[in-house]
Structure 1
């Protein structure tokens, strides 16, 4: 029987660290992060509509945000074919 205790998960980023990481990213990633700050998970299509950026640019921005662990994704509850994105901070 193992007696390991799991530490409570904490956000890897403080607000300051989040801003510093975001500062190094391209403007498209900053805009997508700003749109995601609403707190509601959004699909890529919804992000295109909200940000007014082209689909390809939103996809690039999401990839950059995911590389920096600023954005997470999961399958949509309403349509399992789609993924929704949300800030991991």
Structure 2
């Protein structure tokens, strides 16, 4: 008899854990996280516009935030071709 194991999402970080993880990241990732803290969910283009960072820098920042599981993404309800990003805490 086989059992199906559901993939579970990790528990959200406490505010202290979130800040500790963020402290180790580059300034661009901190800025992107701050923008997402006030206006989320946002697409990569919207993040670039709001943060005044180049698209490439925003992509790097999002990758670093995703590696630390501080940011998650989903497809946009308005445009399924785009991903939108939001903080996990």
TM over 0.5: yes
Conserved 8 A contact 1:47-1:58:
yes
How many residues are aligned here? 81
Q: What pairs up with 1:10-21 in 2 under 5 angstroms?
A: 10-11=11-12, 13-21=13-21
Secondary structure of 2:38's aligned partner: coil
Provide the aligned C-alpha RMSD in A.
1.4
Q: TM-score, normalised by structure 1?
A: 0.86
Aligned residue in 2 for 1:29: 29
Note the residue ranges of structure 1 that are not aligned, 5 or more in a row. Answer: 3-8
Aligned residue in 2 for 1:84: 84
Q: Compute the displacement of 1:39 (Å).
A: 4.8
Conserved 8 A contact 1:39-1:87:
no
How far apart, CA to CA, are the structure 1 residues paired with 2:34 and 2:15?
13
How far apart, CA to CA, are the structure 2 residues paired with 1:84 and 1:62?
11
